[in-house]
Amino acid sequence: MLSLVLFAVCVGLSSQQLPNGHELTQLVDQGFHEMDTDKNGILTEQELGTAYSAVDFNGDGQISFAEYTKYTNQTDAVARPMFNAYDTDADGMLPLDHMADYLHLMDKNDNGVVDIHEYEHYTVKLVQCVYSDHGHGSHGHAASCVTQH
């Protein structure tokens, strides 16, 4: 599962260096606004789906690791834990028809949409987990890290 929502924001995260708090928040906000196509301040399942579809270059309904790195231009050290955080069943693919699951990860108040605060909260935490000293290890680490409080 995931928040591919992340994909837009993660385009700016190609270095090994974690951006500082202000830069990171700016990147996160930028990703949110890019995906919020009707500019109403909330992300719907449909808007997420549209954003994710742009990453599915070969149109097979799934995002592969190769497609993910092509889209985000991240180094493997960053891309791998980020991708794995979404790929909870570890089959190396992110199906586009799991959008509701991805959205649910970020939808803290369970109202079916994601506002910018929910998006920031999840995304900043996930990025910090990926860039942490422990973020390059086992499969799914970043995903479990982000749910810890």
Taking the C-alpha atoms of residue 145 and residue 147, their distance in angstroms, rounded to an integer, is: 6
Residues in CB range of 12: below 8 A, 6 or more apart: 19, 27, 30
Q: Cβ distance 11 to 32 under 8 Å? A: no
Residue 50 or 75: the one with the smaller Cβ distance to Ca ion is 50
Candidates 80, 107, 127, 130: give the one binding Ca ion (CB under 5 A).
Answer: 107
Q: Exactly one of 20, 38, 91, 133 binds Ca ion (CB under 5 A); which one?
A: 38
50 binds Ca ion (CB under 5 A): no
**Cα(98)–Cα(77) distance, integer angstroms:** 25
Per DSSP, 93 falls in state: E
Q: Which is nearer to Ca ion, 107 or 120 (CB)?
A: 107
36 near Ca ion (CB under 5 A): yes
From candidates 40, 75, 138, 147, binder to Ca ion by CB under 5 A: 40
Residue ranges in contact with Ca ion by CB under 5 A: 36, 38, 40, 42, 56, 58, 60, 62, 107, 109, 111
